[in-house]
RNA sequence: GCCGCCGUAGCUCAGUGGUAGAGCGCAUCCUUGGUAAGGCUGAGGUCGGCAGUUCAAUCCUGCCCGGCGGCACCA
């Protein structure tokens, strides 16, 4: 018997796969069923972490399984390679970001290859390859022509640490998602993609994504934030301000409460407010509003402040009713029209404001059970259901009919229209960074912003940028920006902003379908391969990347480059890899797991430092991170246990969507499993008959084999990999009941069948071990190309069922009956059973419930 | 505050309207030429709490408790 030696075995099989080029996707062939398995491509940080191991192992199980199922599988890999870490490395260490990035890619590629992933490496690319980002510039110009790209002077989220603009999606709790710095508001000329044009379709499309987690769909739905209401104009009661003669347009979702109107409010950066800022008092107030940060705490505690402009408007349903116009800090310019009518009785924000400035509070929704004569609103606005009152023609209506009636009246008066409004804002895509995809336009003094003709693409980054100081290295390059205007030929300046890296990742899956295409996307290839059948990645991209990719897919589709509307038919979001934390008792200093020894004393787990022997405090289980020093380096695990054990453990311990806890004991267990599996294969004598023959013992094993095939197949299909692995642990334990050295010929044959299935079942999880095992039992070719085992349904069912018998819901015995026996027959057997009869002595039988093949319950009293 | 998810053995988790399960860990014993191991056996659970529906609830419903996530001055 030879011990299983992954150090020899694993590289051997990886080489065999590479030599046979087994993972190369077949050509797009209509009629040949395809499967596109994709994991979110990594940022090339230079080092693989356990999160990567989990992510790519999960995707690999799917890819290998589908290959065994006979699909033409596309399973590519690439690099999301632009971005700030390269610039930071350049600034800190004086290295070139390009060289640093490609070095990292080389290191990570080697580590990923070691994982034994079934990747088609011939399609690899990095987003920082000019061959890729040049194509991105190409379609960017197409979208420009389509009117989906625009520039606008606007207030943007400015990250003072990274010195760049951030999209709304990249601001988390008022802080930059990467830097963690409190985001400032700045007014800049910005580049936008018109994602809001697709808001309705993006929200509707979610309904079709039945293989996405509900959670992610819900998060996107909330983010897009559709609300239905009314946009209408208030006519002026005072003299109309210049430019606003048509009135003041507001948006509301509560037109039913119009008779509860108290005042009209506009945002501090509303054009009207800016016009009124000619008055220094108004200007001072607006400046006051701009103070205060965007952080959660600041917004939460910010007091509502307002300024009465002295202007008044007329109520739409009563021309004699005048409402004052206030500037209020709680009104957002970029939602709706930046102006509202306030109904303090039924909106908490309006109420807070009205109480502060002593404005009227008039209730118009009567809660059920309240008396119209006595109902009043105190400091809490009433937002619940009820009946409209004090509201003329709306009186007596419920809220929804009242909304409809109010909208109809406003529309009849030609003062406005029912309107759907979205929370989603257009996507600000320009970043003031040097290490990104250049925006392919020039600025000409005469012609303005001019897109470059496509024959001038790609606009390539210079390779001698100065990253020694913060800020935009591209902008301060001495010569790069010099160009000539394609329209008038005069001297012009290149745009020095680059695109958000989320643009890079919003279409890479389409490029993977043909990485050599002259066009950005080879439509025939994309039509064959897309949508991605299974996409696997982290939940942190639920809104950002996944929303942008859905948008870009639609935009490119409308440009005729793609046929699918949804890029990812199936999405799986995996949980994080966590680990216990350890720290020194006195200093509180974090200690790495590899420097810790775990002991059991008095049945309790104790941690001790391997270096000093001191007792350590075992802390919480947290996401692996450098700051908590609770990381485990994958390469060190591979070195000790082999890749398969690491893959197996990371797949076995928890359902894939949940966090999984890495532990030394756990990977140890996986390693022992690998060895026990090998021993079982190794003990099988060569030349065992492949065809099992009837024999009670052999039949028992065969039944178990086929039940396991069924269970594992279903587990893999439904992403319950941990359950599938648990079934294989059981399978192995069952096999041990039939040791080869004591087996009869029929049992040996059944073992051969079991092992043949086993090797194929474990192949997606522990591919190297599976190859070695497959070879050991004389399997045909490599297991990677072997078909998935089929099960015989007749063997997965028992011939005899043991049914528990309950009396009044309590278990009182059991009977054995033929499987599938009809309830009436079962009832007869049960009632004839002497043991059951004894239990029923002195009781009158009221009812007998028989659930076929499951249970019998006798109700008696 | 609003929306959502989770709570089953020491740990990580399956599971089902009908006999409570797996892996790891733990304990006992065996093996000591598979030995930086292997094997046998076993203990351990008011299925978060309370109520309801049902012949029967860990499972369905409601409320509560605990943990986690998303959104948040979005009119």
ipTM of the complex: 0.82
pLDDT at A554: 96
Task: Find and list the nucleotides of strand B having atoms within 7 Å of a protein beta carbon.
Answer: 3-5, 11-15, 18-27, 34-35, 37-40, 55-57, 69-75
pLDDT at A297: 42
CA dihedral A642, A645, A651, A652 (to 10 degrees): -170
What is the distance, to the nearest Å, from the Cα of residue A22 to the centroid of all Cα atoms in its chain? 30
CB atoms within 10 A of CB A70: 12
CA dihedral A51, A220, A721, A18 (to 10 degrees): -60
Could you give the angle at the alpha carbon of A391 between the alpha carbons of A388 and A392, nearest 5°?
Answer: 125
**Which structure tokens are listed for A420?**
């759907």
- Enclosing H/E stretch for A554: helix A544-558
How far is A364 from A24, CA to CA, in rounded Å? 68
Residues 753-772 of A with CB under 7 A from strand B: none
pLDDT at A417: 93
Cβ atoms A629, A591 nearer than 8 A: yes
How far is A345 from A343, CA to CA, in rounded Å? 6
**Integer CA distances (angstroms), A217 to A542, A567, A807, in order:** 8, 14, 47
Beta bridge partners of A115: none
Which nucleotide, over all strands, has the C1' atom closest to the CA of A1? Answer: B34
| CA atom of A841 to C1′ atom of B44, Å | 37
Cβ atoms A739, A670 nearer than 8 A: no
Which nucleotide, over all strands, has the C1' atom closest to the CA of A668? Answer: B24
pLDDT at A185: 75
Strand B contact at CB of residue A726, distance < 7 A = yes
| CA atom of A757 to C1′ atom of B31, Å | 31
Strand B contact at CB of residue A668, distance < 7 A = yes
- What helix, strand, coil percent values describe chain A, rounded to 5? 40, 25, 40
How far is A54 from A721, CA to CA, in rounded Å? 12
Q: Which protein residue's Cα is closest to nucleotide B57 at C1'?
A: A809
How far is A205 from A237, CA to CA, in rounded Å? 44
- Listed in order, strand segments (DSSP E) in A686-746 are none
DSSP A398-446: BHHHHHHHHHHHHHHTTSEEEEEEES---EE-EE--SSSEEP-EEEETT
How far is A611 from A657, CA to CA, in rounded Å? 36
Cβ atoms A240, A322 nearer than 8 A: no
pLDDT at A323: 95
How much is the pTM? Answer: 0.89
Among candidates A476, A414, A500, A393, which has minimal Cα distance to A136? Answer: A500
| CA atom of A502 to C1′ atom of B73, Å | 29
> Strand A810-818's sheet: what is its strand order?
A810-818, A800-807, A855-860, A845-851
pLDDT at A114: 93
* First-residue to last-residue Cα distance in chain A: 65
**Integer CA distances (angstroms), A428 to A81, A107, A349, A376, A638, in order:** 20, 33, 29, 45, 42
**Residue A322 DSSP SS3:** strand
pLDDT less than 50: residues of chain A: 1, 293-300, 603
CB atoms within 10 A of CB A161: 15
Among candidates A554, A510, A501, which has minimal Cα distance to A531? Answer: A510
Crossing angle of helices A643-652/A634-641, nearest 10°?
Answer: 110
How far is A100 from A43, CA to CA, in rounded Å? 13
pLDDT at A292: 54
Which nucleotide, over all strands, has the C1' atom closest to the CA of A294? Answer: B73
What are φ and ψ of residue A675, in 5° steps? -70, -40
Q: Which protein residue's Cα is closest to nucleotide B18 at C1'?
A: A855
Beta bridge partners of A34: A72
Cβ atoms A852, A822 nearer than 8 A: yes
Q: Is the peptide bond before A369 cis (omega within 30 degrees of 0)?
A: no
Q: Which protein residue's Cα is closest to nucleotide B5 at C1'?
A: A215
| CA atom of A730 to C1′ atom of B43, Å | 21
Q: Taken in order A547, A553, A557, A560, is the CA torsion positive or negative? A: positive
The strand pair at A615-623 and A577-584 is best described as antiparallel
Which nucleotide, over all strands, has the C1' atom closest to the CA of A856? Answer: B18
Instruction: Kindly report, residue by residue over A476-532, the tens digit of the pLDDT.
Output: 999 999 999 999 999 999 999 999 999 999 999 999 999 999 999 999 999 999 999
CB atoms within 10 A of CB A846: 10
| CA atom of A716 to C1′ atom of B16, Å | 20
pLDDT at A462: 95
Cβ atoms A637, A48 nearer than 8 A: no
Could you give the angle at the alpha carbon of A646 between the alpha carbons of A645 and A650, nearest 5°?
Answer: 115
Strand B contact at CB of residue A736, distance < 7 A = yes
Q: Which residue has the tokens 């009207």?
A: A272
Instruction: Kindly report, residue by residue over A527-543, the tens digit of the pLDDT.
Output: 999 999 999 998 888 88
Which nucleotide, over all strands, has the C1' atom closest to the CA of A666? Answer: B24
Q: Which residue has the tokens 């390269």?
A: A86
Strand B contact at CB of residue A252, distance < 7 A = yes
**Residue A193 DSSP SS3:** strand
Could you give the angle at the alpha carbon of A816 between the alpha carbons of A813 and A819, nearest 5°?
Answer: 135
Among candidates A852, A807, A800, which has minimal Cα distance to A826? Answer: A852
pLDDT at A719: 83
Strand B contact at CB of residue A262, distance < 7 A = no
CA atoms within 13 A on the CB side of A844: 2
Q: Which residue has the tokens 């950005």?
A: A520
Cβ atoms A844, A859 nearer than 8 A: no
Based on C-alpha coordinates, what's the Rg of chain A? Answer: 34
How far is A695 from A89, CA to CA, in rounded Å? 68
- Listed in order, strand segments (DSSP E) in A40-148 are 72-74
| CA atom of A190 to C1′ atom of B63, Å | 51
Strand B contact at CB of residue A733, distance < 7 A = yes
How far is A326 from A359, CA to CA, in rounded Å? 11
Which nucleotide, over all strands, has the C1' atom closest to the CA of A669? Answer: B24
| CA atom of A3 to C1′ atom of B36, Å | 13
Give A185-188's long-range contacts (Cβ < 8 A, gap of 24+). A185/A155, A185/A156, A185/A157, A185/A158, A185/A290, A185/A294, A186/A155, A186/A156, A186/A158, A187/A153, A187/A154, A187/A155, A187/A156, A188/A153, A188/A154, A188/A156, A188/A158
């Amino acid at each position: 018997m030879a011990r299983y030696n992954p150090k020899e075995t694993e590289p051997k099989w990886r080489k065999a796969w590479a030599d046979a080029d087994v993972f190369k996707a077949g050509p797009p062939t209509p009629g040949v069923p395809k499967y596109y398995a994709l994991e979110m491509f990594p940022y090339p940080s230079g080092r693989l972490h356990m999160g990567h191991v989990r992510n790519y192992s999960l995707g690999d199980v799917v890819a290998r399984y589908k290959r065994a199922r006979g699909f033409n599988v596309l399973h590519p890999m690439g690099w999301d390679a632009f971005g700030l870490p390269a610039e930071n490395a350049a600034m800190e260490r004086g290295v070139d970001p390009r060289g640093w990035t490609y070095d990292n890619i080389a290191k990570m590629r080697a580590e990923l290859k070691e994982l034994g992933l079934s990747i088609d490496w011939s399609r690899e690319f990095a987003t920082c390859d000019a061959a890729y980002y040049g194509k991105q510039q190409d379609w960017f110009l197409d979208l420009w022509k389509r009117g989906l790209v625009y520039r606008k002077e606007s207030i943007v989220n400015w990250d003072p640490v990274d010195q760049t603009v951030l999209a709304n999606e990249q601001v988390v709790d008022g802080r930059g998602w990467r830097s963690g710095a409190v985001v400032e508001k700045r007014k800049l000329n910005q580049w936008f993609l018109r994602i809001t044009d697709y808001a309705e379709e993006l929200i509707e499309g979610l309904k079709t994504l039945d293989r996405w987690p509900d959670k992610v769909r819900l998060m996107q739905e909330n983010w897009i934030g559709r609300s239905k209401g009314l946009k209408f104009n208030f006519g002026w009661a005072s003299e109309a301000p210049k430019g606003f003669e048509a009135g003041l347009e507001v948006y509301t979702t509560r037109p039913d409460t119009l008779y509860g109107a108290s005042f009209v409010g506009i945002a501090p950066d509303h054009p009207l407010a800016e016009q009124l800022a000619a008055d220094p008092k108004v200007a001072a107030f607006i400046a006051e509003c701009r103070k205060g940060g965007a952080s959660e705490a600041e917004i939460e505690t910010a007091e509502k402040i307002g300024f009465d402009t002295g202007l008044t408007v007329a109520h739409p349903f009563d021309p004699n009713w005048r409402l004052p116009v206030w500037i209020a800090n709680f009104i957002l310019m970029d939602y709706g029209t930046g102006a509202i009518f306030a109904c303090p009785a039924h909106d908490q924000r309006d109420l807070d404001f009205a109480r502060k400035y002593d404005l009227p509070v008039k209730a118009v929704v009567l809660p059920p059970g309240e008396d119209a004569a006595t109902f009043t609103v105190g400091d809490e606005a009433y937002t619940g259901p009820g009946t409209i009152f004090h509201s003329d023609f709306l009186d007596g209506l419920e809220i929804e009919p009242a909304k409809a009636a109010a909208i109809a009246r406003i529309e009849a008066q030609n003062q406005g229209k029912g309107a759907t409004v979205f929370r989603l804002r257009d996507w600000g895509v320009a970043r003031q960074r040097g290490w990104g995809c250049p925006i392919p336009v020039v600025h000409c003094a005469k012609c303005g912003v001019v897109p470059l003709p496509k024959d001038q693409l790609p606009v390539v980054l210079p390779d001698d940028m100065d990253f020694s100081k913060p800020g935009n290295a591209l902008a301060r390059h001495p010569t790069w920006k010099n160009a000539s205007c394609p329209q008038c030929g005069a001297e012009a300046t290149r745009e020095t902003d680059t695109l958000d890296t989320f643009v890079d990742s919003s279409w890479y899956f389409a490029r993977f379908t043909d990485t050599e295409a002259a066009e950005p996307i080879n439509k025939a290839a994309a039509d064959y391969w897309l949508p991605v059948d299974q996409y696997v990645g982290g939940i942190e991209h639920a809104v950002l990347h996944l929303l942008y990719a859905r948008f870009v897919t639609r935009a490119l589709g409308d440009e005729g480059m793609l046929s699918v509307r949804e890029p990812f038919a199936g999405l799986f979001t995996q949980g994080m890899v966590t680990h216990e934390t350890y720290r020194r008792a006195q200093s509180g200093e974090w200690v790495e797991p590899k420097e810790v020894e775990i002991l059991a004393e008095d049945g309790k787990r104790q941690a001790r430092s391997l270096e000093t022997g001191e007792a350590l405090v075992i802390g919480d289980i947290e996401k692996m991170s450098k700051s908590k020093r609770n990381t485990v380096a994958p390469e060190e695990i591979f070195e000790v246990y082999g890749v398969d054990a690491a893959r197996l453990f990371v797949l076995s311990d928890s359902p894939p969507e949940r966090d999984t806890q890495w532990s030394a004991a756990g990977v140890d267990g996986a390693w022992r499993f690998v060895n026990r599996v090998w021993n079982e294969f190794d003990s099988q004598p060569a030349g065992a008959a492949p065809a099992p023959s009837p024999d009670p013992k052999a039949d028992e094993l065969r039944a178990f084999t086929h039940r396991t095939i069924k269970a594992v197949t279903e587990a893999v299909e439904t992403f319950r990999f941990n359950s599938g692995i648990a079934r294989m642990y059981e399978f192995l334990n069952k096999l041990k009941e039939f040791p080869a050295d004591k087996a009869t010929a029929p049992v040996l044959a059944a073992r051969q069948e079991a092992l043949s299935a086993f090797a194929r079942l474990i192949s997606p999880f522990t591919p190297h071990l599976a190859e070695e095992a497959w070879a050991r039992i004389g399997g045909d070719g490599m297991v990677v190309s072997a078909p998935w085992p089929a099960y015989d349904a007749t063997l997965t069912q028992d011939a005899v069922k043991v049914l528990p018998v309950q009396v009044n819901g309590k278990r009182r015995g059991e009977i054995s009956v033929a499987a599938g026996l009809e309830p009436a027959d079962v009832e007869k057997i049960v009632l004839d059973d002497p043991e059951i009869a004894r239990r029923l002595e002195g009781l009158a039988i009221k009812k007998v419930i028989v659930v076929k093949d499951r249970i019998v319950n006798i109700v008696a009293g």
